[in-house]
Structure 1
Amino acid sequence: MFGTARLGVSPDPRRLPRGVRLYRLRPEGSVVLADRDGARELGPERDLLRFIDDGQFAHYLVGDAATSPERPSNATVKLGIVGPRSAFTPHAHGGEHFVLSMGYASCGLYDGERGGVVDVPLVPGELIRIPKMMPHSFANRDTAPLTILAANTGYGIDHEDYAITAPEADRRAAAEVSDGLAAPTGTLARTDYLALAAALRDIERVQRTRGPGLTTARERLAARLRRLAHRWEGHR
């Protein structure tokens, strides 16, 4: 996943002004960072943080893991690398969420109005907006790592409201019952956590049945053509 293949960054990074960074999102899922000092592939040892689950990674572009309403940067923007044929644990975010897919992804969303799970397949270049507190899970349908660009309003990974999973929703619901008060979650104090936990488990059941999804024959052909185009463009 994190190899030392030829970097193929254009233009020559030595020509970049000091402080400018160039990111090349390669079709096989890796990311190369270039600046005045040279080019290197982002790796987990120095560049990437754990992204909700083991085996998933994030690299912040705006804000950081500690961003919160109390320590705001207005939004966080980060690169994510999603493992082959894997999906995040279903969760909901305390703020709205935008994800740009650079590969073949899918997003399982719980539609509260219809009372069911909707699966939205994504292809390279499609961006999806997910409203605040909508249960969802992002998946990689391909056999190669998937690069995404994710923007969240107001929250970094370390904040308690960044990604609320079913067990955490259960815990908050129990706290409301035992204390007779709304769980201490700031702007999310009115959330029905029992309903949230149930919706998240609906997504989990769909994931277990369907898996992360598959790429089609046309998508696999398009991916091969995209890799070929990348090799032509990256070494001009």
Structure 2
Amino acid sequence: MFDGGSGTGDGGPGRSGGPGVRGMARIARELPYGVEVFHLRPDGRVHFADREGARELGPSEEFLRFIDDGQFAHYLVGDARTSPERPSNATYKLGVVGPRSAFTPHAHGGEHIVLSLGHASCGLYDPARRRVSEVRLFPGAMIRIPEMMPHSFANRGAGPLTILAANTGFGIDHEDYAITADEAERRTAGAGSGSGSDQAPEAGGGVPTLRQATTDYAVLAAALRDIERAQRVGGIGAVSARERIAAGLRRAAAVLEGPR
């Protein structure tokens, strides 16, 4: 996914070279301490600059596993341990989604907002219509998903997809950050009935939230399995010819507009 070199460029010893990073290095020299600049490139790469220099971000550069193997996140607000008991109000992170891949369907304990900078899709379970809806997303599209709504975000493209994701109240390490079908079924079995209304597990040892306390985990598990089935049968969608042309134009624009 991250194929930037480890050679020496203007960003300093051991940091990735290339025209984009060299341009960011010139920006770095003008930055006050504590200020950071990110260049989210249309090819999925992320170039970073601060007062110390410039480099291309990759898994070794403060990226964490993002729900599934091969997906990565870099926190901008909050951290992986954010929770109602250790609040930062929300987490805000930069994510990189692997080519032609989708997250395991899940539901978050808090509200979820994702800005897509490429060609993505989001499978959502619609409880009113009792079916899975697929929303195709394009560069610059932002989707807002309520807490505990089953969904799965996917990258339709053949290259890495950069996203910006915000979650209210929960970091990746919290047990309610991403509840999968397997976890919902485990909670159903632990509750001893089809509903977790009176026996919902506590969040981090504290008092469960109102939405957690009224969640029917058996219903949640079934909805998540429906999304899994839809992705298995219908796939995650493809990038159209028109979108491929637009992506090429954006890459050309990035060369002309990017730092030099």
TM-score by length of 2: 0.88
**Alignment correspondent of 1:72:** 87
Structure 2 residue matching 1:9: 3-state secondary structure: helix
Cα contact 2:82–2:169 (8 A) shared by 1: yes
Task: Give 1:13's match in structure 2, choosing from 28, 39, 43.
Answer: 28
- Whether 1:53 aligns to 2:68 is yes
CA distance in 2 between partners of 1:228 and 1:131 (Å): 36
**Alignment correspondent of 1:228:** 252
Shift, 1:11, TM fit: 5.6
**Alignment correspondent of 2:221:** 197
Unmatched 5+ stretches in structure 2: 6-16, 203-207
**What root-mean-square deviation, in Å, do the aligned CA atoms of Structure 1 and Structure 2 show?**
1.5
CA distance in 2 between partners of 1:142 and 1:135 (Å): 23
1:171-210 equivalences in 2 (<5 Å): 171-177=186-192, 181-185=198-202, 186-187=208-209, 188-210=212-234
CA deviation string 1:71-119 (max 9, x = no partner): 0000000001000000000000000000000000000000000000000
CA deviation string 1:190-213 (max 9, x = no partner): 100000000000000011012221
Give 1:172's aligned amino acid: R
Cα contact 1:64–1:156 (8 A) shared by 2: yes
CA distance in 1 between partners of 2:28 and 2:172 (Å): 31
Shift, 1:46, TM fit: 3.2
Shift, 1:183, TM fit: 2.5
CA distance in 1 between partners of 2:259 and 2:85 (Å): 45
Percent identity, aligned pairs only, is 68
Question: How many residues in Structure 1 have an aligned counterpart in Structure 2?
Answer: 236
Of 38-47 and 82-91, deviating more is 38-47
Task: Give 1:30's match in structure 2, choosing from 42, 45, 49.
Answer: 45
Give 1:210's aligned amino acid: G
Task: Give 1:83's match in structure 2, choosing from 91, 98, 118.
Answer: 98
Cα contact 1:107–1:139 (8 A) shared by 2: yes
**Alignment correspondent of 2:112:** 97
Unmatched 5+ stretches in structure 1: none
Cα contact 2:197–2:214 (8 A) shared by 1: no
CA distance in 2 between partners of 1:235 and 1:162 (Å): 36
Cα contact 1:97–1:129 (8 A) shared by 2: yes
